[in-house]
Chains A and B, each alone.
Chain A
Amino acid sequence: MALQDKYKELIATASSAGIEAKEQGGVLYVKGHAPSAAVKDQLWNTYGRIDPNFKSGDVVMDVDVAGVASGSKVKVTTQSSSLNIRKGPGTDQPVVGKAEHGDTVTVISKTNDQWWLVRNSEGKEGYAYAQYLTAE
């Protein structure tokens, strides 16, 4: 129960957004769909406040933003560089196109949590790393 106590605020925030927090083997797993990017940010900020720099390693938080449907436009949120669009879902796959930081791309389908099939503004289609794509 120590984890439940330590992360009480995080669990409450997650719970109010309909996100489940489950303790297993000394790790708290927070997994689910956030209703908006703001809620996802709020959860990560709360987590970071309780465990500065996420050093304890006692939480695994996998929260994606619900509502990114096929056909929707998403923004490229790399730190500054352009985003690679690849032939297949993996960094070992050849780069077939790019999308600049701040550009929007169209989501064709979500292959998995990590890789989404997208189309850039030039019409090039391929797989991009989902962590660098943010719903508008």
Chain B
Amino acid sequence: MTSKQFICAAAFAVAIFFSACGPKDQDMTVTVTESVHSAAPNVNSNVSDGVVTLTGTVSDEATKMAAEDAAKKISGVKSVVNNIVVTPATTTTPVTIAPSGALQQGVIDATKDYPEVTATVNDQGEIVVTGQVTADRWKRLKVALDALNPKRVNADSLIIK
């Protein structure tokens, strides 16, 4: 064994030694909890044999990853099991629905190049589309109609060729 190999082996042994005698789970729990909470207050963490399991609900993917990173950076943490569920926050602001007058004008503009379909605005504020159209053209029209902020687009009687 060359001296270089010996140093490498020694360094490896020291690394093993330190990780084996790393901070105990209970000591880590407080630090991990604090770190995770600063990134995501609603996430719970549990430490077992140096493995952190994260549970709870957050509103976006970024917060989920931030919580994982916050746990990973704590010394002694071997790995992180990220069981956080992402549920987009449901705000109480209602969805903007266009008034039927504006919708009617918008439908006329959107369907100008689609003589094969008839689109009308009914009493419920829905756009009702009828006629026969190719799948490709219907997709383009649907994109345009959805952009008008209708309550919904009713294509029940539309025939896709």
Tell me the A residues contacting B by CB distance below 8 Å. Answer: 11-12, 15-16, 18, 20-22, 24-25, 27, 29, 31, 44, 48, 53-55, 57-58, 60-62, 64, 78-79, 81, 90-92, 113-115, 129-131
Q: Is A53 in contact with B148, judged by CB distance below 8 angstroms?
A: no
Interface SS, A side: mixed
Choose among A27, A57, A115, A131 the residue with the greatest number of B CB atoms under 10 Å from its CB: A57
Chain B contacts with A in 133-159, Cβ cutoff 8 A: 135, 137-140, 142-144, 146-156, 158
Is B152 touching A27 in the complex (CB atoms < 8 A)?
yes
- Tell me, in angstroms, the Cα distance from A57 to B142 when the chains sit together: 10
In the assembled complex, 11 residue pairs joining A and B whose CB atoms fall closer than 8 Å, in A order, are A15-B86, A16-B61, A24-B94, A54-B153, A57-B152, A57-B156, A60-B150, A62-B149, A78-B113, A91-B112, A92-B108
Q: Is the CB of B147 within 8 A of A64?
A: yes
In the complex, the answer to whether A11 meets B154 with C-beta atoms within 8 Å is: no
Which A residues are CB-close (under 8 A) to B109? 90-91, 114-115, 129
Q: Which of A55, A61, A79 contacts B158 (CB 8 A)?
A: A55
The interface centre, meaning the residue of B90, B140, B142 with most chain A CB atoms within 10 A of its CB, is B142
Let me know if A21 and B146 touch, CB within 8 A: no
Number of interface residues of B (CB under 8 A): 37
20 other A-B residue contacts (CB within 8 Å) besides A114-B110, A131-B140: A11-B88, A12-B86, A15-B88, A18-B60, A27-B152, A29-B95, A53-B155, A54-B138, A54-B142, A54-B153, A57-B154, A57-B156, A58-B152, A62-B149, A79-B140, A114-B106, A114-B109, A115-B109, A129-B109, A131-B110
A21 CB to nearest B CB, Å: 6
A24 touches B95 (CB 8 A): yes
- Give every chain B residue within 8 A of A60 (Cβ-Cβ): 146, 149-153
Kindly report which residue of chain A lies nearest to residue B89, judged by CB atoms: A20
Closest to B133 in A: A53
In the complex, are the beta carbons of B140 and A57 less than 8 A apart? no
CA distance A124 to B126 in the complex (A): 36
B105 at the interface (CB under 8 A from A): yes
Residue of A15, A29, A54, A90 with highest tally of chain B CB at under 10 A: A54
Report the bound CA distance from A128 to B138 in whole Å. Answer: 20
Nearest residue, chain A, Cβ from B136: A79
CB-based closest 8 A-B pairs? A29-B95, A131-B144, A91-B109, A91-B112, A53-B160, A54-B142, A27-B152, A62-B147
